[in-house]
A and B are shown apart, each in its own frame.
Chain A
């Protein structure tokens, strides 16, 4: 099997395993993996901007929340069914990402981080400000009857799992294709040396703009699906901690690897879940584990695999 075949095999293999797990997992882990797949999709979106383009955003919760509220508000107030509501959520995320990119990409480095953080905070406060519609910090329930997509009740565990798997598959394969395409390779080149790429005649601004829109759109899709599958939209998902989470997941799993976001999300989820069963000081255990990983696997778990075992892993 050539290199491309092995890479495709590995990534498709993960999707096959996740598909098959649906039939064997106990109920608790079945629900967890469904949730992890949606959150990992969010991390996949984040990874395109951070891992492959080298732009560290602290404002991705804005896109996640744009998707969640674009979907939720149209169901709640405009009586939309899930399919068009999901589209509205995803389009809302794209537009917000495009708008923010036009402003934030005028900056770089630390300034980019601060600008994205500030816009996300403004977005969070906007959700609170329009509390009459959004129910502010409390949020609102998307009722079971409003979550029936083409006759499929998404509150059913099996349907939810397959919907999460479908979303993750699309985002994951899109990410794999993207980073191997000309566009994706240019993004990686920008990450490595933007000046040199510009000197070679590439429009780096347009590429970064494109990366941010793709990243924001995937994040918004994750937000929209999260709200729909778990029946709740709330301002917490627009708060700063939900901008930090995908950064952590991607760093742990391996920034700039296609598998990394899923591995990082899975690792972090179960680290919290298992350590909280051992002690009430579970955040301490999580913190120590994160410090150890940063010290001994600075490129993240998948990044270490690439460094030690598989140089060509995308």
Chain B
């Protein structure tokens, strides 16, 4: 009898325990999270191009990101919680990129995804981020976000897009270098963006594009294209990218010798490449767009100096540990600034966990002016919450004695264009 009672009692206790466990398991996620939120880290999924065509960028995006995370964590983290960076290699491939986004959301339980550069990876991954409702902060400079192609969960608050960069170059080019332009660009989407945006912008400045020379992506020798450059060309605009760029510059130098037009290019061609590499002598006296000047300028701000030291970049834009390891300085600040935007957005929205992702999106959308600061060492920014795109100053540098010397900085107003989308009308 006693045993019977004890047995019944044990069963009862087990039932109670089981009931309690089931009850706990059925609690909403937020309730369980609330217990842990004071100590749980904020998980940021870093979609990194560690391998594939974007590996040079990926390496430096990684270093910049780690430096920014260290700074934020040393300063107390976000809402008192440390950042845990979870890096996954996407192989610079859109298929793997989408898989990595799924991994962030469904396996690692990341709060946000971050850091993608190459446009095809962004465009391949963003639909999954939107479906999984994972805030996806890209650092790509593509026009894909502001064009309206993507979704409300995809934002680009840390780097300007190619359309604003290109159009902001036109006034300087037409006033200082010439109004008759010939463009040489790779015959794929990146080159087509330059072709379309710059042609329209230079026309607005009273200039004209005399010839558009598209180079097939598999091309390895360029001499045969140069005779297509009209004789009355005043400015040659080039945006070649990839391993053939050194050959391109060398052959361009052999073709023109000392008697060429002014030459203007985008530093994208030569990111992670030493300007004083053999064969690049011809670049002396030519002009480049730079998102952020690679070489420390005489008037560099205290914030930029701090940023440069924190990331480990010397005055020539190379690693402090290896002068031959040249950085992707014109772009990688975007990782630093984006992480600070995420921090600001989470703090403004009181972000506590994945259930607050929608509030985070709204908080970032509400951002506007971002003054130059340690969080924004490249310069002041203006975020457009409707198009999810940030706008900022652009720089033009001239190669002088093998160094890039800044000769012009645009205003933010130079970079603006009419909205092409209003993401805030999409449901969260």
Contact = CB atoms under 8 A, between A and B. Distances in A.
B49 to A, nearest CB: 12
B149 A141 contact: yes
Interface residues of B, number: 36
B51 A232 contact: no
A31 B130 CA distance: 15
A232 B189 contact: no
B216 interface: yes
B107 interface: yes
A204 interface: no
Contacts of A132: 192
B120 A128 contact: no
Contacts of A236: 93-95, 120, 124
A137 B50 contact: no
Contacts of B217: 125, 128, 137
B120 A35 contact: no
A95 to B, nearest CB: 25
How big is the A interface, by class?
Answer: 20 to 34
Contacts of A135: 189
A173 to B, nearest CB: 26
Contact of A31 (B51, B106, B150, B188): B106
A192 interface: no
A232 B188 contact: no
B119 A138 contact: yes
Nearest to B50: A280
Nearest to A239: B93
Interface in A229-268: 230-232, 234-237
B186 to A, nearest CB: 9
B142 A141 contact: no
Interface string B209-227: 0000000111000000000
A27 B151 CA distance: 22
A162 interface: no
Interface string B31-71: 00000000000000000001100000000000000000000
Contact of B124 (A129, A131, A139): A139
B123 A234 contact: yes
B84 interface: no
A276 B89 contact: yes
A35 B99 contact: yes
Contact of B189 (A27, A28, A32, A137): A137
Contacts of A74: none
A280 B93 CA distance: 16
A232 B106 contact: no
A24 to B, nearest CB: 15
B128 interface: yes
A136 B119 CA distance: 11
A182 B218 CA distance: 44
B128 A230 contact: yes
B106 A128 contact: no
Contact of B51 (A142, A234, A283): A283
A155 interface: yes
A136 B188 contact: yes
Contacts of A312: none
A272 to B, nearest CB: 8
Nearest to A142: B127
A138 B128 contact: no
A213 B90 CA distance: 33
A141 B150 contact: yes
B120 A137 contact: yes
Contacts of B284: none
Contacts of A31: 102, 106
A203 interface: no
Nearest to A226: B95
A231 B127 contact: yes
B98 interface: yes
Contacts of B99: 32, 35, 273
A80 interface: no
Contacts of B188: 128, 131, 136-138, 235
Given A28-B102, A144-B130, A273-B99, A138 B123 contact: yes
Interface string B81-93: 0000000110001
A101 to B, nearest CB: 25
B112 interface: no
A129 B216 CA distance: 8
A139 B103 contact: no
Question: Max chain B CB contacts within 10 Å: which of A26, A144, A231?
Answer: A231
Contacts of A144: 127, 130-131, 151
Name the 9 nearest CB pairs between A and B, nearest first: A231-B127, A28-B106, A138-B189, A28-B107, A27-B106, A136-B189, A136-B188, A232-B124, A137-B188
Interface of A: 26-28, 31-32, 35, 125, 128-129, 131-132, 135-142, 144, 155, 230-232, 234-237, 273, 276, 280, 282-283
24 contacts: A125-B218, A128-B217, A129-B187, A132-B192, A135-B189, A136-B189, A138-B119, A138-B142, A138-B189, A139-B94, A139-B123, A141-B123, A141-B126, A144-B127, A155-B131, A232-B123, A232-B124, A234-B120, A234-B124, A235-B188, A236-B93, A237-B95, A273-B99, A283-B51
Interface of B: 50-51, 88-89, 93-95, 98-99, 102-103, 105-107, 119-120, 123-124, 126-128, 130-131, 142, 144, 149-151, 187-190, 192, 216-218
Given A131-B187, A135-B189, A140-B149, 12 more contacts: A28-B103, A32-B102, A128-B217, A138-B190, A139-B94, A140-B123, A141-B150, A232-B124, A232-B127, A234-B94, A236-B124, A276-B89
